[in-house]
Structure 1
Amino acid sequence: MAEKTPQIDASNTETMFKPINTLRREPTRSEMQDLEIIASAGASFRPGDIPPPPDGGIEAWTQVAMGWIVIFATWGYVNSFGSFQAHYTSTLPQSPFQISWIGSIQVWFTFFGSAFSGRLLDAGFWIPTFLVGAGLQLIGIFMMSLSTSYWHLMITQGVVTGIGGGIIFAPSLALVATYFEKRRGIAIGLVTTGNSLGGTVYPLVVRALLPSIGMPWTARVLGFINLAGFILVAIFMRPRLPPRQTGPIIDWSAFKDTLYVSYVGGLFFFVWSVYYTFYYLASFGQQEVGMSFADSSLITTIINGVGLPTRVLIPVLADRIGPLNTIAPAALCVAVVAYTWVAVHDVAGVYVFSIFYGIASGAFQSLMPTGVASITKRLDTIGTRMGMCFSLVSFAGLSGPPIGGLLQDKSLTGAHIWAALSSTLCAVLLVLARVLKVGWKVNTRC
């Protein structure tokens, strides 16, 4: 007797196959990035398991606020060294060239440490990384208050605070970047305003307190300011993405990426000149045009503070036309202003130069991390590639101020021309990076 063939109720066909139809939809770009992250961690996944970047909301903007505090306490503090340079030049027996090494070492460690700390963020170790870095920076500042010689300051202000800042600054930027996609430029731009405001506030504190309470307690006040901010960061700043357990500290494939190499090369030449300018402009005003210590310290405040509006407005423009389309013209503006330093011979000229240079350099600096994120294809490698970028740039921060100081001992004009040429090379390499990404098309966002 023949078996009956099972019958399928046609009315149930849609219900039976509905889950399959649902799963076969094309995942979005953000979902595909998140799938790569889960796959690299060895987890099972489905499209939609990890939501795309929120691009807003309380949690995301809280990370922006916490990232701002980190940059305020790290790069804001680093950028205020011009005030210390002017003070040390008048109180220590060492030459300005030797004193500039304190700031250069600090910049180098702050940049270089990010190569390792960026990968720690990707691996899921944000909290221990932050606690170690913040702790070291605070130890360096409070030990700086006990320093009585050049070498004491080199170790405390240069080495220890630099290492601490380097451990925490790149992961904080990369962490914020993972919360945003369409608004990433403005989010990172707002975070980097901490650089300008910190570089404005710290010199004002030094200028106000140093003559009245002395160097030891001035340094302690700076330490307590940072401590208060770090407590908030430890409580509220949290990574969004799951850890990527595999992968090297250094992404060697980046060095085969000519776009990445060109971009990092451009940043190198910018940093090479910008910290020479930031560190020496105050002492230039004091020694070359006869400004007092209080007035020359105000120059450090101005050059940092005037960049605050551009750090907010320029990233908004970058979100519309693209980071590379924005940072290359900003580099050209920095170079043009840098060439005018050779014409500065009086107090008014110092003030005018500091204003225009601060505006141009502030615009550029606000786009540095956003540019790295824009040329990084995988979201889960942003921390690693951003850390690599800043660690390579660290050697520019290490050598730039001393080279500029050595050159100006022989020819002040020669040092200023060197800084301007360095900024010009930066602009050329960033234009090259833009061409490598989208070609010579004018109306293309990149």
Structure 2
Amino acid sequence: MAAGQPLNSYPHQTELQDSEKDHDVELHDTGSDNFVPIAEVAGDEEDGIDHCREKELTKTPTHGSNVGALASRTLSLVRTRESGKDIGPPPDGGFKAWSQVALGHFVIFNTWGYINSFGVFQSYYTESLGRPPSDISWVGSIQIFLLFFIGTFSGRATDAGYFKAVLTAGAVLELFCIFMTSLSTQYWQLFLAQGIGQGLGCGLMFCPTIALIPTYFTKKRAIAMGIVASGSATGGLVFPAVVMRLLPRVGYGWTMRTLGFISLGTLIPCLLFLKQRLPPRRSGPLLELSAFKELPYVCFATGMFLNFWGIYVSFFYIGSFGRDVIGVSQSTSIDVLLVMNGVGLVGRLIPNLMADLYTGPLNMLIPFSLCTGVVAYCWTAVHDLQGLYIFSALYGLFAAGIQSLFPATLSTLTTDLKKTGVRMGMVLSVVAVAALIGSPIAGALIQRDNGEYLYAQMFMGSAVLAGTITLIGARLAKLGFVWQRA
């Protein structure tokens, strides 16, 4: 799966002026901490601090990806009340900072990278359990839903100073449930272990890690977050490849245990050496209902619901389609999924760079959404293996662009930067629901169409194109027909 992802404001520090050193100023968050997948974040803008007690340092999120954007916040900062000492600026490099990046890459490898691999299990479970595709897709959908949704709470626990506890709980839960999945023989066992258990574990690990990494960087934040985000692509390559090689040789149980040992080996260093840099701070409200009175925000939230309603269908069912319709082998169907996940690395980095340099995120998101919808319709014309590879590469590229651009786009639609965090949290909740129900609906359509995929393909393409139309509505409501960065 893909997963996909994703707000471009980060905690940022500034030193006290000499004349202000007698004041006790506390670090606090005026937005909520919510998180999602996946890509590069770059740049920041700063406003000065006139009064340590009353003025806030705000950073304008202008671009980036799911990953960076989900850590967005507006902070007033200067030194901790507890210590009375200036914590100093981020190191912005050096062994300590880059080691956190490497460890963060492994966390994303084990969260989004693992979830992006669900297409491998979709086809295998459908055959081995004899269950309809819609039933199996609920397992993967609940993983995505929980990863998005749990971020609201795990992020707040991290703010309160419980980063290590939350990360450890998530790692232990995910590892335990991977090994329990290896023992599962019935659908309900898979749903509990792989769906709910691993989804909770991923949500507990992913969100705090994405909030942590930006606190170590300023100018080099973009490349740092890009390296971390690429864990979703490397995981989406490694896990399916392992399944493809081991499943025919050692069987399902030991294949899953091998995945568990890979996760164990890559998570232990994360638990030992990932370190929270900032002191505890307060979190803001969970809801800001006045946002739904703003037409650009409503159109944007609706557009992202529609996009994520359909975007994961192909990631879940591309393997099954290859086997059922084209007649390829299990290993070849996994190769197709590897292509779709692999090109996602380019799709997460290049669109953000182009948006940063030339267009702005909203102006870049709209054509990527349009191309994703058009390519989704083209899936109906795929009848051979060559066409399947071409479709997988194009769809993986454009869909990754949606995942990486949508959180950054919110910053262009929010005039009050203090509300960016809470508004992103509300959008992520909407996206979580869409990701939860989209793939099961597609599975039900496949079953209703007697195993054919046309209804599901049309549902996927129509949902994404409808999302494109509402995103255009958000652009027009915000800026009209005048061309400018957005």
Give the alignment's TM-score, normalised by structure 2.
Answer: 0.77
- The answer to whether the 8 Å contact 1:89/1:95 transfers is yes
Farther off after superposition, 156-165 or 435-444: 435-444
How has the CA–CA distance of structure 1 residues 261 and 197 changed in structure 2, closer, same or farther, with 3 Å as cutoff?
Answer: farther
Match of 1:359 in 2: 397
Aligned counterparts of 2:135 and 2:460: Cα–Cα separation in 1? 19
Q: Which moved more, 1:269-278 or 1:165-174?
A: 165-174
> Are 2:268 and 1:227 aligned?
no
User: Number of matched residues?
Assistant: 424
Q: Which residue of 1 aligns with 2:112?
A: 75
Instruction: State which of 471, 474, 484 in structure 2 corresponds to 1:430.
Output: 471
Change (3 A) 1:67 1:384: farther
Q: Is the counterpart of residue 332 in structure 1 residue 392 in structure 2?
A: no
Once the two structures are overlaid, the 10-residue window that deviates more, 32-41 or 306-315, is 32-41
Q: Distance in 2 between matches of 1:80 and 1:90?
A: 17
- 1:54–1:180 contact (8 Å) kept in structure 2: yes
CA drift of 1:378 comes to 8.0
Residues 1:131 and 2:161 aligned together: no
State the Cα RMSD in Å: 3.5
How many Å separate the matches in 1 of 2:195 and 2:256? 14
Structure 2 partner of 1:12: none
Q: Hey, what's the Cα distance between the residues in 2 that align with 1:70 and 1:372?
A: 25
Deviation at 1:398, TM superposition (A): 1.2
Q: CA offsets, 1:300-355, max 9 Å, x none?
A: 11110122223233332233233333322222221121121111122222111111
Q: For residues 205 and 435 of structure 1, do their structure 2 counterparts lie closer, same or farther at Cα, with a shift above 3 Å needed?
A: same
Question: What's the CA shift string for 1:50-109, capped at 9, x where partnerless?
Answer: 656666555544443333222211111111111111111221121222222211222222
8 A contact 1:266–1:425 mirrored in 2: yes
For the pair shown, the structure with the greater C-alpha radius of gyration is 1
Q: Deviation per CA, 1:136-164, whole angstroms, max 9, x where unpaired?
A: 11111111011111111111011100111
For the pair 1:29 / 2:70, whether they are aligned, the reply is no
Shift of 1:376: 6.5
Once the 2 structures are TM-superposed, how far is the Cα of residue 375 of structure 1 from its aligned partner?
A: 5.8
Q: Any idea what SS the aligned residue of 1:113 has?
A: helix
Mapped partners of 1:312, 1:391: distance in 2: 24
Deviates further, 261-270 or 214-223: 261-270
Q: Give the C-alpha shift of residue 40 in structure 1.
A: 11
Q: 2:131 matched to which residue of 1? A: 94
Are 1:317 and 2:317 an aligned pair? Answer: no
- Unpaired runs of 5+ residues, structure 1, are 1-17
Structure 2 CA distance for aligned equivalents of residues 244 and 262 of structure 1? 33
The reply on whether 1:414 has 2:455 as its aligned counterpart is: yes
| CA contact 1:170–1:386 (8 Å) conserved in 2 | no
| Counterpart among 111, 120, 127 of residue 157 in structure 2 | 120
Query: Do the aligned partners of 2:157 and 2:163 also contact (CA within 8 Å) in 1?
Result: yes
Shift of 1:39: 6.9
Distance 1:122 1:372, change over 3 A: farther
Deviation at 1:400, TM superposition (A): 0.6
Does the C-alpha gap of structure 1 residues 72 and 410 become closer, same or farther in structure 2, counting only changes over 3 Å? same
2:411 and 2:168 mapped to 1: Cα distance?
A: 25
Contact 1:171 1:383 in 2 (8 A): no
Instruction: State the match for 1:204 in structure 2.
Output: 241
Aligned-pair identity (%): 43
Do the aligned residues in 2 keep the contact of 1:115 with 1:390 (CA within 8 Å)? no
Q: Which moved more, 1:269-278 or 1:320-329?
A: 320-329
Return 270-279 or 360-369, whichever deviates more. 360-369
Among residues 250, 253, 256, which one is paired with 1:213 in the alignment?
250
Name the CA distance, whole Å, in 2 between partners of 1:426 and 1:392: 13
Question: Which letter maps to 1:300?
Answer: L
* 8 Å contact from structure 1 (residues 118, 386) kept in 2: no
Aligned counterparts of 1:131 and 1:211: Cα–Cα separation in 2: 33
CA distance in 2, matches of 1:379, 1:124: 24
Asked whether the 8 Å contact 2:310–2:464 carries over to 1, the reply is yes
Displacement after TM superposition at 1:247 (Å): 3.0
Residue pair 2:132, 2:447 contacting (<8 A) in 1 also: no
Q: Equivalent residue for 1:111?
A: 148
> SS where residue 247 of structure 1 aligns?
coil
Q: Is the 8 A contact 1:199 1:301 kept in 2?
A: yes
Range moving further from structure 2, 369-378 or 89-98: 369-378
User: Is 2:199 aligned against 1:162?
Assistant: yes
Give 1 or 2: higher helix fraction: 1
Which amino acid letter does the alignment assign opposite residue 415 of structure 1? A
Q: Match of 2:193, SS?
A: helix
Structure 2: gaps of 5 or more residues:
1-16, 23-44, 50-54, 59-73
